[in-house]
């Protein structure tokens, strides 16, 4: 027996050592996986007026979203009308694109990716090379062949569909869309991402067998847009609009009402009529449907839809075979959503003067954990908060990458909480004075409601389990 004990003790010690080593390795892995605020490439300038790289453009910073996005380390100016999108802004944009992809898939959209460089010949064929004027970025290659950087892709997609000359009516409706960079040579770019020279846009192009079918597609896309903005918690107004240089016979804009909006809108208080002022006679003061007095508002255009008919399909011969085996031109529509503009516009309409507020679905990060200040009475609560962070990651793997640990423990909790409020995390979990209780109690700040909850570890995990992600 003694011999067995002698041989067993080293084995037990080895097993215990292995378990400790495993726990230590797990702890090290968790620590490495934590998203630390100090390591994020998000240059913060959260003091009022403290924005680097803006060259004193005070008037331009009068736009709330531009100022907040610069202060919060979301964007950085590269050149007039062009911005670097920094990691938090990219995260938010990718979430928005996931929502848009889902909305487009639900109505039969198929995603493509067309070149940004578009041949001048295509644009001359449609007449828009001259019509677009100086807003079109034009360039030539080394052989003298002319191109433009596409602000939109009606010509390109019409040529693409026309190249497949054996298209059958059975393959329609065809709904192709992309989310890509677009370019417009704005004479006076301003308001940050609200009016820039380079931007991201979702553009869908549809091909139908008849005008009736095309108008059904039109209503389908408009409904998808309304649903998307409702899901984001944004009040969006669909208004009648001019067709402009894109053309067609019907058009609607999707506008977020905002004081800095560049579009003037006339609205019926009862919701029976809404239009861009450019479509309304100056003498028209009453709703044509109910007679109510029309009100005026300003809006930021975040989406635009067009019923094109055969304007482009006739030029590029985008046709299909009917049941009678005859070639017929496809009826087209095009539908845009300003992706980067939606990011900025949502901040513009939801935020306060000094604090970002996001549609919660597209916030760059969903939750920020704030441990106690180093050297404070509550410092021993830091390990408890880190353990909670790791447990949340384990219990809610969908939140991995969406939880930030503010490890700037040389700063007070109050200062970091103020920063978290300015950055707009939907939830902030704080190891405050009650973290030393048994069991530990954490403060949870719900930014959407402005309330503070006091929850145990289990309560925090249960609350965060209800967070919705795109």
Q: What is the pLDDT of residues 123-175, one digit of tens each?
A: 999 999 999 999 999 999 999 999 999 999 999 999 999 998 889 999 999 99
At 461, the pLDDT band (50, 70, 90 cuts) reads: very high
Q: How far is CA 420 from the centre of its chain?
A: 20
Angle between helices 64-71 and 339-350 (to 10 degrees): 100
Q: What is the pLDDT of residues 61-103, one digit of tens each?
A: 669 999 999 999 999 999 999 999 999 999 999 999 999 999 9
- Write the CATH number of the domain with boundaries 64-350: 3.30.930.10
Residue 193, H or E segment: none
- In angstroms, the Cα distances linking 197 to 77, 149, 229, 341 are 12, 11, 24, 12
Say yes or no: do domains 64-350 and 365-465 share a fold. Answer: no
Residue 34, H or E segment: none
Q: Can you tell me whether residue 379 is helix, strand or coil?
A: coil
Q: Can you tell me whether residue 164 is helix, strand or coil?
A: coil
* Mean pLDDT within 367-371: 98
How far apart (Å, rounded) are the C-alpha atoms in residues 43 and 210? 53
Q: Where are the domains of the chain?
A: 64-350, 365-465
Count the Cβ atoms, other than its own, within 10 Å of residue 236.
23
Angle between helices 87-106 and 339-350 (to 10 degrees): 110
Q: How far is CA 28 from the centre of its chain?
A: 34
CB 46 within 8 Å of CB 175: no
Across the strands, what pairs with 335? Answer: 204, 305
DSSP secondary structure of 317-330: T-EEE-TTS-EEEP
Spell out the long-range contacts of 228-233 with Cβ–Cβ below 8 A and sequence spacing 24 or more.
228/99, 228/100, 228/103, 228/337, 229/254, 229/302, 231/99, 231/361, 232/99, 232/342, 232/346, 232/359, 232/361, 232/362, 233/350, 233/359, 233/360
Helices (H) and strands (E) in the chain, counts: 12, 21
Q: Kindly report the average pLDDT of the chain as a whole number.
A: 91
Give residue 253's pLDDT.
Answer: 97
* More confident: 125 or 13: 125
| Alpha helix positions (H), 291-363 | 313-316, 339-350
Give residue 60's pLDDT.
Answer: 52
CB 138 within 8 Å of CB 148: yes
- Write the CATH number of the domain with boundaries 365-465: 3.40.50.800
How far apart (Å, rounded) are the C-alpha atoms in residues 268 and 240? 13
Residue corresponding to tokens 């408009």: 222
């Amino acid at each position: 027996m003694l011999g067995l004990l002698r041989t067993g003790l080293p084995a037990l010690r080895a097993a215990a050592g292995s378990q400790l080593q495993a726990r230590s390795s797990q702890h090290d892995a968790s620590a490495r996986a934590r998203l630390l605020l100090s390591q994020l490439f998000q240059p913060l300038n959260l003091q009022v007026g403290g924005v680097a790289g803006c060259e004193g453009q005070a008037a331009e910073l009068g736009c709330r979203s531009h100022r907040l996005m610069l202060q919060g380390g979301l964007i950085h100016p590269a050149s007039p009308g062009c911005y670097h999108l920094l990691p938090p802004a990219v995260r938010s944009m990718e979430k928005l694109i996931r929502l848009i992809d889902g909305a487009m898939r639900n109505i039969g959209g198929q995603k493509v990716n067309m070149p940004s460089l578009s041949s001048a010949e295509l644009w001359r064929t449609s007449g828009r090379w001259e019509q677009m004027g100086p807003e079109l970025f034009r360039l030539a290659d080394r052989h003298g062949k002319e191109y433009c950087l596409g602000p939109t892709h009606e010509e390109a997609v019409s040529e693409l569909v026309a190249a497949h000359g054996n298209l059958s009516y059975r393959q329609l409706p065809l709904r192709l869309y992309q989310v890509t960079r677009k370019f417009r040579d704005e004479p006076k770019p301003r308001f940050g991402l609200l009016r820039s020279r380079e931007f991201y846009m979702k553009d869908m192009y549809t091909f139908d067998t008849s005008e009736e079918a095309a108008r059904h597609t039109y209503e389908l896309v408009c409904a998808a847009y309304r649903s998307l903005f409702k899901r984001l918690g944004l009040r969006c107004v669909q208004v009648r609009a001019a067709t402009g240089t894109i053309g067609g016979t019907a058009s609607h804009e999707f506008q977020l009402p905002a004081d800095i909006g560049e579009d003037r809108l006339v609205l019926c208080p009862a919701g029976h009529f809404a239009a861009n002022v450019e479509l309304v006679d100056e003498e028209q003061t009453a709703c044509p449907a109910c007679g109510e007095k029309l009100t005026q508002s300003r809006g930021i255009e975040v989406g635009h839809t067009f019923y094109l008919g055969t304007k482009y399909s006739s030029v590029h011969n985008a046709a299909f075979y009917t049941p009678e085996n005859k070639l017929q031109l496809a009826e087209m529509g095009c539908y845009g959503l300003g992706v980067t503009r939606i990011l900025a516009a949502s901040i513009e309409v939801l935020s306060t003067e000094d604090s970002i507020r996001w549609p919660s679905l597209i916030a760059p990060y969903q939750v920020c954990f704030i441990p106690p200040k180093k050297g404070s009475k509550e410092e021993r609560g830091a390990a408890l908060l880190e353990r909670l962070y790791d447990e949340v990651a384990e219990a809610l793997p969908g939140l991995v990458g969406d939880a930030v640990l503010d490890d700037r423990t040389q700063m007070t909790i109050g200062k970091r909480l103020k920063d978290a409020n300015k950055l707009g995390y939907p939830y902030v979990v704080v190891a405050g004075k009650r973290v030393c209780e048994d069991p530990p109690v954490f403060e949870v700040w719900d930014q959407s409601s402005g309330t503070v909850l006091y929850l145990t570890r289990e309560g925090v995990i249960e609350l965060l389990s209800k967070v919705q992600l795109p």
